[in-house]
Amino acid sequence: MKTIDQLLAEGVAGKRVFVRADLNVPLDGARITDDGRIRAVLPTVTKLAEAGARVVVASHLGRPKGAPDPAFSLAPAAARLGELLGADVAFATDTVGESAKAVVAGLADGHVAVIENLRFNPGETSKDDAERGAFADQLAGLADLYVGDGFGAVHRKHASVYDLPARLPHAAGYLIATEVAVLKKLTEDVKRPYVVVLGGAKVSDKLGVIDHLLEKADRILIGGGMAYTFLKAQGYEVGISLLQEDQIPTVREYLERAKAKGVEFVLPLDVLVSPEFPDLKTKAPANPSVVAADAIPADQEGLDIGPETRKLYASKLADAATVFWNGPMGVFEHPDYAEGTRAVAQALVDSPAFSVVGGGDSAAAVRILGFDEKAFGHISTGGGASLEYLEGKTLPGLAALED
């Protein structure tokens, strides 16, 4: 895989460099609530601009239906990128239309532009190779070189990620190079004990990685909404908690396999419950109750791990040499249900382990809860991409960057 440093050594001054970034930031209206993904691409964009390239940054945001939708405009991300660069960033109001062509044509050496959300064009995500290829051809007309640096999208076979690199000389940006190097530490010659912490809403999102990590991890801790499917699989009442009934047989099989292989599977001892989901806008007090994990009332919903579980999980992380964490332990966006996620984050800060925080929600939680990002080994920008890499899958966007 060619690196950006090799590209820079060959000279990029005066050349149009298409940077496929991941600016898929969370928005509250037009306000960015977490700019971590924009910050992550700064080293690549800055280095190219300093070398005199005409930088064209592109990304998706959200899931528009292949047509322009103001709610998913990249305009706020472009403005924030300009603030972080301390320079004007031009913004094209379309992807490959007249605005994009004019903005790119108007770039001077060392200047940066952002084009509108790639998913406003149906060709970006099309499953039809010809349609996707046609859009990639149009994108290729905007550039002379391609730099892939949107790690959060490399598991997608999309035009800007998979097809475009085949049409231009290409290289991996600093973010992708860093992410791959870090993930290799989780898959090759891993330092042990190797502890995996998995949370988030749906157990179905994590089945592949659990299946693969049962062959590699020494200990797996489960939290978040997915924990209730595991508890149900053990025969416990979970009330009105998030539950995927259809996954119970698979979860039981994983628990049995873990036991047979000597992998320690750790589930919550207690949980915070409430009869209703908290109001995340007003953050009004929710007044949750703490109950044992095997005694959730039928009319209550589990929304965070409890205090005994926090202590248990911290103890299970204390001796780790390597930790991968993907998914919050509860509804961390509300202060009454943030302590489980905070406890895991603090345990990683306190641990000498090489810790990788993977996934948009986990990374956002670390920042929202006030932790110093430098206190962790690495904070990944790609949840789905990280998981698929750990599952052993070939990621289209990485394969496309190989020479």
Rounded to a whole number of angstroms, the CA Rg of the chain reads: 22
Q: Is 106 a known active-site residue? A: no
pLDDT at 350 over 90: yes
Residue 360 pLDDT > 70: no
Tokens 């991941």 identify what position? 22
Residues with Cβ within 8 Å of 146's Cβ and at least 6 positions away in sequence, in order, are 17, 18, 20, 164, 165, 167, 168, 169, 170, 171
- List pLDDT tens digits, range 194-214: 999 999 888 888 888 899 999
Q: Check whether 9 has a pLDDT greater than 80.
A: yes
Q: Judge whether residue 64 has pLDDT over 80.
A: yes
Of residues 150, 239, 358, 384, which has the active-site annotation? 384
CA–CA gap between residue 39 and residue 249 (Å, rounded)? 42
pLDDT in tens, 241-296: 999 999 999 999 999 999 999 999 999 999 999 999 999 989 999 989 999 999 99
In this prediction, residues 356-363 reach a mean pLDDT of 83
At residue 169, does pLDDT exceed 70? yes
pTM equals: 0.86
Q: What angle do CA 285, 309, 319 make, to 5 degrees?
A: 130
Q: What is the pLDDT of residue 392?
A: 86
Q: How far is CA 227 from the centre of its chain?
A: 20
**Among 360, 382, 383, 397, the one annotated catalytic:** 360
List, in order, residues 6 or more apart from 179 with CB less than 8 Å away. 151, 380, 381, 382, 385, 386
Catalytic pick among 39, 202, 216, 393: 202
Of 156-165, 186-195, 247-256, 358-367, the one with minimum mean pLDDT is 358-367
Q: At what angle do helices 360-368 and 36-50 cross, to 10 degrees?
A: 100
- What is d(CA 17, CA 153) in angstroms, rounded to the nearest whole number? 19
Residues at the binding site for substrate are: 22-24, 37, 60-63, 119, 156
As a whole number, mean pLDDT of residues 159-183 equals 96
Binding-site members for ATP are 206, 302, 333, 359-362
Checking if the pLDDT of 301 tops 70, the result is yes
Annotated binding site: 22-24, 37, 60-63, 119, 156, 206, 302, 333, 359-362
Judge whether residue 89 has pLDDT over 80.
yes
Residue 86 annotated as catalytic: no
Nearest to 120 by CA among 54, 199, 84, 66: 66
> Which two tokens mark 5?
């440093």
Q: Give the residue among 368, 266, 370, 361 at the shortest CA–CA distance from 320.
A: 266
Please report, rounded to a whole number, the percentage of residues in the chain having pLDDT higher than 90.
Answer: 86
Structure-token match 């998706």, residue found: 60
202 is catalytic: yes
pLDDT given for residue 220 in this prediction: 97
Mean pLDDT (whole number) for 206-226: 93
Q: Which helix (H) or strand (E) holds 2?
A: none
List the strands of the sheet with 270-274, edge to edge: 289-292, 270-274, 301-305
pLDDT higher than 70, residue 75: yes
Catalytic residue among 37, 54, 157, 316: 37
Axis-axis angle for helices 174-185, 36-50 (nearest 10): 130
pLDDT of 109 higher than 90: yes
Give the residue, 287 or 317, on which the prediction is more confident: 317
pLDDT, position 205: 86
Distance CA 389, CA 33 (A): 27
2 carries an active-site annotation: no
